[in-house]
Structure formats: structure tokens, C-alpha cells
Amino acid sequence: MAMFPNPPLHRSAVRVRGLVQGVGYRPFVYRLALEESLAGWVSNDSEGVLAEVEGPQPRVDQFLHRLRTEKPPLARVDSVEATPLPATGEQGFTIHLSHHSGQARTGIPADAATCPDCLRELLDPADRRYHYPFLNCTNCGPRFTITRRVPYDRPQTSMAVFPMCPACQREYDDPADRRFHAQPNACPVCGPTLTFLAADGTPSSAAPLEETVHRLAAGQILAIKGIGGFHLAADATSEVAVQLLRQRKHRAGKPFAIMVRDLAAAQALCEISPAEADLLTSFERPVVLLRSREHTPIAPSVAPGIPWLGLFLPYAPLHHLLFADGRIHALVMTSANLSDEPICIDNDEALTRLTGIADGFLFHNREILQRCDDSVMAIVEGAPQLLRRARGHVPLPVPLPISAAPLLAVGGQMKHVFTLARGLEAFQSQHIGDLESRPALEFFEHALAHLQTTFEVTPTAVAHDLHPEYLSTTWAQEFAARHNLPLIGIQHHHAHVAGCLAEHGLTTPAIGLALDGTGFGTDGTIWGGEVLHFDLREFTRTAHLRPIPMPGSGIAVTQPWRMALGAVASLLGPEATANLGFPPAETAILLQLIARSRSGPLTSSLGRLFDAVAAIVLHRHTVDYEAQAAIELEGIASPDDHGTYPVSLTPVGDSWIIEPAPMLAALLQDHHAGQPASHIAARFHRWVAESFAAAAQRTSQASGLTTVCLSGGCMHNRLLSRMLVQELEHLGLRPLFHRQVSPGDGGLSYGQAAIAAARLASL
């Protein structure tokens, strides 16, 4: 045998930072090292993953190159740093187990949808996990929702009560196996199981999945336990079933999300761009808002009156199995709750809370420890935007552009989300919902305690909205008093636009367009159509919509015709309200009150102006859910109409008032002349975009700033987003959209955290 001289050995220490724990990164490093015939070890520590490798130089170089270009599916690599070390002659490669050092900086991974390898096993009759609804691996499965506390290890999860069988244990212990250290690893021998219960709670002797599919196909409404909570499921192609669900859930018009078998099934129902397809099939598996095709088998009452569908693909093995035999094509899968209460997670809770709603229950015995709704996303101007941040994203941090002292930002009242911040990271909670009910408040406190322990954040300050009646505000005041912490009150729209700036990594001053429903202003009126010159510390209001009355205050939100009456009467005079078809008796009383400025508060809200226009143009006098009128107006706007209405800005001192009166006069003229609503809707949208772009331009001329942060609930309107981009870019301004943080009130607490961090830093 010929002898070759041994090549000189090189050793290198490798530090990998990013999202590299709980995602199979160490076995990935192990596999690469074996493939490159390197010796050494790999380990987790408080900063990420640390490894040392030793071998011939070209092999070490190749290893480092692959670390920089390859990764396991769920990992996110921020940096790979290599430092040369003296060679030691070490033999073999080992994975060091996690040592819990008391440092929990790396937290818990987010839940991930079933990976292609697991899906193949699920549908392979020869596999030992064939049709097993709880299979998972290092690259997929539940994480956040099954974890009680850090560190993320099986004994701390709801899998602790399922000791692994020898076959599963072998996979778990084998670094070369796809299930090495997959904490929820399970199989039909050792793992969780399904049961089916009838409406009265009696267990069924039939096979649970078969019973479920059979009943769904027969038009029943079932409660199905999933990853982050229960869904109420119904056949989305059955108008009778969907109507029944609406009736029982007391949910009149708000669109339901639907789940279909796969991307091809989704494409048959909706127009799907490549970016939207990527989002639908991503590991996060959000509900994606898509443009519906015409003449599909989807029941009309799934999303009445609007041309979009919220669509998502199966993300748990159980979901895949519901569609496996082809009897079910599309399912309404809506959070199992009553109106705005938190989603059900517990079997007993489901039985009591969903009595009278569900015709049966598909249970499993893997406990859901953290409640988490489905995330909702859309492609906005070519890139993904999170509208509701929950499953798949929580508890991953969103970066902050400025280092934060440990703090808590409690957000707003509706679509509540809180944020814990420390250093350059902001941890947003999952979507909590509307903070009005006691269950929601309890959910908030539970989620807060959990995230505080997970990320070891002990707040040193509390940020809150200025609205004195938000439950989040009074809660913050009590919490701060109890813990003797400073309170930082932050104006609603400043928080909106600051969040947009901060998530783009910027701290410099910018122009903000806060196009919103309602938020508490600094002058006692209700704001929501604001142009701000701001940075992360403070703001000035450089332009806003002329305030109009909200007749009846809160009632005006659910009765847009009142907004229309208030707008027309105050801007054009009471006689202009004739022939609009509003209830005559109430109109007469309200007109008197408006004339005496006693009908309710004033608001500069763009959302309320949308309501007013929808009430006139669509005769949409009342709404079943927030923003319904605006959504319908966006939905019918004709893409072929390029008209607009007169833009008018009045200077007042250093600021400007955007005047809706000339627009409203022209719009009424169109309306009375019988112009189609689709054209009026398009013109109104363009007027909004042109008016706010013009106001942004005035602010730019006065300040020299060109970056424009777009935020607020109206930024859910993608037609408006598109028109704003056109107008702003035409004027040489640079629009920025929210991406990881919701533009609506769900994003508020992140903006509050950024502002609080900046204010505390400058003390």
C-alpha cells in the first residue's frame, strides 16, 4: 500500500449567530463535518451555536463555505465567524448536549408546518407513521404552543407525559437521524391520540378521523383541536353549513378563513402570484389574503360582499388527513370562540364554551399550553406583510434599531398585542384579541408571564397609549404602581408610524402618514388621518383631515350612515343630506345636535371618512364588523376608472388641513347623477392618495425629509397602498411599509417599545 504524507491539519473555532437553536442546527453541523471528514465538536450556548472543526485546510474551507450557503429549513443564520486555532489531533466529531446556563436568550422556536419529508411518511402505507396525525421531526412540528417554560426540552413540553417508545428514542438519540432531539417526536405506539365526541360529550366508538370527515361532508359543524387552539370547521362549499356556522357563532358578515388541500386547490379558487404561493407554502403557513376567482364552488357567505378570500394550507398532519381521501375540498377553519373571546385550547373548555355551536368534537390528548391563533398575511407592494402576527411567528423577536432597557409596551385595546423589549430585540406577543372580556384579560396576563419568563425580561418601564379608557392603559397604570415603574404615555399615531420606521432599522426623522380608524389625540379630539413629522422621541402634526362629527360617538362606528350624515352636514350644510336615504326621524334629531356641535366628538379619522363614503355610495348603513364598509368600498373600486376628486389643503400656521368638502361635493354630484359605485369608489381612493401625498410633500418641503412611513389600520387597504406608492414616488418621496409588524393596532405596542427605548436612552 502506497503511503501518502498526512496533509497538515487546521483547526477553526466557528461561531454561528441567528435563529439556530431548536431548529436542528447542531445535527446539521454534525452532518456537514462528517461529510467533510472533519474532527471536532458542536454545542449550543447563550450566543447561538459554537463549534470547533479540524482537518485539512481545503476541507475546513469547504465546511465554512457550506455553513454560509446551506442551512436547515427552519434556521435563520445571521453570521458565521471563524477563528483559527492550533490543531489538537482530535479524533471523531461529537455533539455536546445543551447546558442550561441560566441564560435563556435563545428562547423557544415558533411552530412550523409539516415538512415535505414528514408529509411523505404520513401518506406512505409502508411507513410506521402512516396516517399518524402527530408525526413531526427536527424540521417541523409544534414548538411554542406545546412549551411550558424554557429551556425548550421535552420535559418542559406537553410531550412530557408521552415516554418515547424504543424506536422513537433511537431516532431522538441518533445525530444522523432527522428526528435527533426533535422534542415532540412521537409515533402511533407512544404518542398522542385522537378521540371523537358527540355534541353532548359522549365519546364515539367510530374511528375519529373517519367520523370527522363523514360529518363534515354531511354539513355538520365540528370543533377540531389543532396546534394553537380549536378551530370550528365546516364544509366551505356548503352554503347551508356556512350559514349555520354564522348563526351559531353570532358572526354576521365577517369573512371566514378557509383551508384547502394544497397549492393547486388554492389556485383553482384564487389568483395567486409567485410571492403569494411562497407565502402559502411557507413553514409559517399563514392565512393569506388572495383575490378570489369568479364562479368557484365556495359558498357565498364565506366572504360576503368582498372579492378576496383568506386562504391557508394544512399545517398539521391532522389537517392533511382531513383532505386525504378527497371527500372534503375546502373547509371553513375559524378560531373556535364566541365573537371576540380568546380561542379555546382545552378539551373541557371546548365542551363547555362550544356547546350549541359544535355538532361534535375532534379532540387529541396533547395539551396546548400557549394559545395561538393563525397568522394573517398579504403580499403588499411585492413583499409579505403581517396583518395578524401569531402562529409561526411568535415568539421570534423583531429587531429594534435602538437598544432598549427592559420594558413592557401594552399596546392598545382592540386586536391587542403587547411587546416586551430588551436590547435590540422586541418580543411581540401572539394576537390576544379585544381586551374587553375577562377571558381576554386573563389570556393577556398569562401570555405576559410566559414571555417574561421565556426571555427573562423584567420591565423597568411601561409604555401605554394615551387613551385614558383603554383597558391596556388602566392596566399599565396599576402594574406600574404595583412595581414602582415609570409610565411612558405615547400618542397612538406616533406609535403607529414609529413602528414602521423602527422595523426598517431607522432612527432618523421621517414623515409619517397615520391612516387609521381612531386613536386618542393630544388635543382631546379623535385622530386618524394624520401627517406627522417625527422621530422615535417626538412628533409634530404637520397636516390632518378636517375633523368631522361622529354622531353618537361609538355608535357611529357600527352605523356608518351617522358618519355620512355628520360629514355631509358639517362640510356641505344640512340641506345636502337630503335624498341620501337616511332614517328621517333620527336624521332630524342628529342634524339639530350637529348644528349645536353636540352630536358627539370630532374626528380626523380616515377610517371614519371611508365609512361615510361607503354609507352614501354603497348604502351600507350599518356594519357587522369593524372596517366592513371600507373593505367593501375597496372591493368594488373599478381598476378602469382613473378619475379623482379635487384635492384641497388649507394652511393653518405651520400645518395644513386636508379639506374633504370639495371631494364630498363632487362625489355627491356623481352619486346623484347615477355614476356607478365602482367608479366613485376608485375616485375616492385616488383622492385620498393624492391628498395625503400632497400633505406629505408640504411636510417634505418644510423639513427636507423624503422617507414616508405608512401605517394605521387603513393600510390594510391594498388599493390605497398601491395608489399611495404611485403618488409618493411621483413626488420623489420614499414610502416604507410595515412588514413584520401589523400596520393596524396589533403593531401599536412595537412602535410604543421603539419610542420608549429612544426616550429612555436620551434621559
Interface residues toward Zn ion, by CB under 5 A: 115, 118, 137, 139-140, 165, 168, 187, 189-190
Distance, in Å, from the CA atom of 156 to the CA atom of 150, rounded to the nearest integer, reads 7
**Residue 121 vs 626, nearer CB to Zn ion:** 121
> Of 105, 760, 747, 762, which is closest to residue 404 (Cα–Cα)?
760
**Residue 118 vs 331, nearer CB to Zn ion:** 118
Tell me the CB-side half-sphere exposure of residue 639, using CA atoms within 13 A: 4
Choose one: 321-329, 512-520, 648-656, 753-761; the region binding Fe ion (CB under 5 A): 512-520
**x/- contact string, 517-546, with Fe ion (CB under 5 A)?**
--x---------------------------
Distance, in Å, from the CA atom of 342 to the CA atom of 435, rounded to the nearest integer, reads 10
**Residue 133 vs 744, nearer CB to Zn ion:** 133
Minimum distance, C-beta of residue 118 to Zn ion, in the bound complex (Å) = 3
Minimum distance, C-beta of residue 618 to Fe ion, in the bound complex (Å) = 23
Minimum distance, C-beta of residue 186 to Zn ion, in the bound complex (Å) = 6
Minimum distance, C-beta of residue 713 to Fe ion, in the bound complex (Å) = 5
Minimum distance, C-beta of residue 414 to Fe ion, in the bound complex (Å) = 8
546-575 positions binding Fe ion, by CB under 5 A? none
**Residue 64 vs 137, nearer CB to Zn ion:** 137
Which of the listed partners (Zn ion, Fe ion, none) does 390 bind, with a CB threshold of 5 to 8 Å by partner kind? none
Minimum distance, C-beta of residue 417 to Zn ion, in the bound complex (Å) = 29
Minimum distance, C-beta of residue 377 to Zn ion, in the bound complex (Å) = 22
Minimum distance, C-beta of residue 139 to Zn ion, in the bound complex (Å) = 5
State how far the alpha carbon of 125 is from the alpha carbons of 135, 314, 344, 744, in Å: 14, 20, 33, 46
Residue tagged 348563526 (cell numbers)? 247
Q: How far is CA 704 from the centre of its chain?
A: 34
Minimum distance, C-beta of residue 390 to Fe ion, in the bound complex (Å) = 19
- The site for Fe ion, by CB under 5 A, has a size of 3
Nearest residue to Fe ion, by Cβ distance, number only: 516
**Residue 145 vs 337, nearer CB to Zn ion:** 145
Q: Is 745 in the site for Fe ion (CB under 5 A)?
A: yes
Question: In sequence order, what DSSP letters do the residues of 651-668 get, joined into one string?
Answer: EETTEEEE--HHHHHHHH
**Residue 175 vs 583, nearer CB to Zn ion:** 175
Question: In sequence order, what DSSP letters do the residues of 117-172 get, joined into one string?
Answer: HHHHHHT-TTSTTTT-TT--BTTBB--GGGBSSSS-SGGGBTTTTSPPPHHHHHHH
Which of the listed partners (Zn ion, Fe ion, none) does 745 bind, with a CB threshold of 5 to 8 Å by partner kind? Fe ion
**Residue 179 vs 388, nearer CB to Zn ion:** 179
Residue tagged 354609507 (cell numbers)? 615
Q: Are 710 and 516 in contact (CB under 8 A)?
A: no
Choose one: 82-90, 460-468, 739-747, 755-763; the region binding Fe ion (CB under 5 A): 739-747
HEC profile of 46-57? CCEEEEEEEEEH
Minimum distance, C-beta of residue 514 to Fe ion, in the bound complex (Å) = 8
Which of the listed partners (Zn ion, Fe ion, none) does 54 bind, with a CB threshold of 5 to 8 Å by partner kind? none
Residue tagged 356608518 (cell numbers)? 560
Which of the listed partners (Zn ion, Fe ion, none) does 168 bind, with a CB threshold of 5 to 8 Å by partner kind? Zn ion
**Residue 402 vs 526, nearer CB to Fe ion:** 526
Which of the listed partners (Zn ion, Fe ion, none) does 516 bind, with a CB threshold of 5 to 8 Å by partner kind? Fe ion
Which of the listed partners (Zn ion, Fe ion, none) does 52 bind, with a CB threshold of 5 to 8 Å by partner kind? none
**Residue 139 vs 721, nearer CB to Zn ion:** 139
Q: Is 516 in the site for Fe ion (CB under 5 A)?
A: yes
> Of 420, 399, 402, which is closest to residue 749 (Cα–Cα)?
420
Question: What stretches of 559-605 show up as alpha helix (H) in DSSP?
Answer: 560-572, 584-595
User: What angle, 0 to 180 degrees and rounded to 10, lies between the N-to-C axes of helices 677-703 and 661-672?
Assistant: 170
State how far the alpha carbon of 290 is from the alpha carbons of 68, 262, 276, in Å: 35, 15, 8
Distance, in Å, from the CA atom of 434 to the CA atom of 440, rounded to the nearest integer, reads 7
State how far the alpha carbon of 384 is from the alpha carbons of 265, 276, 718, in Å: 21, 8, 12
Q: Is 632 in the site for Fe ion (CB under 5 A)?
A: no
The answer for residues whose C-beta is within 8 angstroms of residue 42's C-beta and 6 or more apart is 26, 29, 30, 33, 49, 50, 51, 93, 94, 95, 96
Which residue ranges make up the site for Fe ion (CB under 5 A)? 516, 519, 745
